[in-house]
Copies of this chain bind each other. A is one copy, B any other.
């Protein structure tokens, strides 16, 4: 039994929730509003970032990447990184792409400007940052389409952390209604496959009080 500190708008938290669920691991959840800088939380998380995973023996793990590799090492089945060193390198490359590059160029801009500023009452969004994110997302959706035209899943034949990471990021942006699915049919087809998985259901059913998701967010047929 794991315990995960998370937030519905933290894509890195979503990745770990998906990974725990795909591995059929039991876990409980606690929402953390990182912008409140709660002392008890900062004692668990030196960086102040989510997710944080608490282990059975009282151990605490920080950093989505450290946590995801830990879960792969300690619960290898089903393998979500790949079956050999080359496959794992490709999964990690794409996971890094979506968890860092996409996050920096799209998700973090939209979440901080359109959601956290509102939740934390921290002023008006900068429209140039929102516009930049909305322009940047096309290139990343095209990359998903490039990959899925050549492969069954993003990193190869099997579902991997690359799919979970990309879907974690996109699902946060989709909550805000900022994914232009109608212009990227192949990316949408891939997302429908991920969205249909039982591991995804709890994420789609969770809403933030006072900030409902885009109307199509929870629909499999959108």
Interfacial residues, chain A to chain B (CB-CB below 8 A) = 46-47, 59, 61-63, 65-67, 69-70, 73-74, 85-86, 88-90, 92-93, 96-97, 100-101, 143
Main SS at interface, chain A: helix
Which residue on chain B has the smallest CB distance to residue A146? B46
Which residue on chain B has the smallest CB distance to residue A69? B92
Report Cα–Cα, A26/B101, bound state, in Å.
31
Complex A-B: 16 CB contacts under 8 Å: A47-B97, A47-B101, A63-B89, A66-B88, A66-B89, A66-B92, A66-B93, A67-B89, A69-B69, A69-B88, A70-B86, A70-B88, A70-B89, A73-B88, A74-B85, A100-B100
Q: Choose among B62, B73, B86, B92 the residue that contacts A65 (Cβ–Cβ < 8 A).
A: B92
Q: Do B101 and A89 have beta carbons less than 8 Å apart?
A: no
Report Cα–Cα, A102/B137, bound state, in Å.
25
Name the residue among A63, A70, A88 with the largest chain B CB count within 10 angstroms.
A63
Report Cα–Cα, A47/B100, bound state, in Å.
11
Contacts of A85 in B (CB 8 A): 70, 73-74
Report Cα–Cα, A86/B62, bound state, in Å.
11
Report Cα–Cα, A143/B47, bound state, in Å.
11
Which residue on chain B has the smallest CB distance to residue A66? B92
Report Cα–Cα, A88/B65, bound state, in Å.
11
Report Cα–Cα, A147/B74, bound state, in Å.
26
Contacts of A66 in B (CB 8 A): 88-90, 92-93, 96
How many whole Å from A202's CB to the nearest CB in chain B?
A: 25
Contacts A88-B69, A88-B73 hold; do A62 and B100 have CB atoms under 8 A apart? no
Q: Choose among B63, B96, B97, B100 the residue that contacts A93 (Cβ–Cβ < 8 A).
A: B63
Which residue on chain B has the smallest CB distance to residue A64? B96
Contacts of A69 in B (CB 8 A): 69, 88-89, 92
Name the residue among A85, A88, A89 with the largest chain B CB count within 10 angstroms.
A89
Report Cα–Cα, A59/B47, bound state, in Å.
36
Q: Do B47 and A61 have beta carbons less than 8 Å apart?
A: no
How many whole Å from A83's CB to the nearest CB in chain B?
A: 12
Contacts of A101 in B (CB 8 A): 47
